[in-house]
Amino acid sequence: MERLIGEGGAAGVAAEDLRRLVSSVVRLYAAANEGSDEEVLPLHDDVATTDAVVLATALLKSQDLNPFDLALWFSRSRVAG
pLDDT tens figures, 7-40: 788 888 999 999 999 999 999 999 998 878 888 8
Q: Are residues 52 and 76 in the same domain?
A: yes
Q: Are residues 35 and 52 in the same domain?
A: no
Q: Are residues 29 and 66 in the same domain?
A: no
Q: Are residues 10 and 38 in the same domain?
A: yes
Q: How many domains does the chain have?
A: 2
Q: Are residues 8 and 35 in the same domain?
A: yes
Residue type, 40: V
CB of 40 within 8 A of CB of 33?
Answer: yes
Domain span including residue 72: 44-80
Q: Are residues 53 and 27 in the same domain?
A: no
User: Cα–Cα distance between 29 and 26 in angstroms, integer?
Assistant: 5
Residue 67 DSSP code: H
pTM here is 0.78
Q: Are residues 51 and 71 in the same domain?
A: yes
CB of 70 within 8 A of CB of 60?
Answer: yes
φ/ψ (deg, to 5) at 31: -65, -40
Mean pLDDT (the chain, rounded): 88
The contacts of residue 13 (CB under 8 Å, 6+ apart) are 4
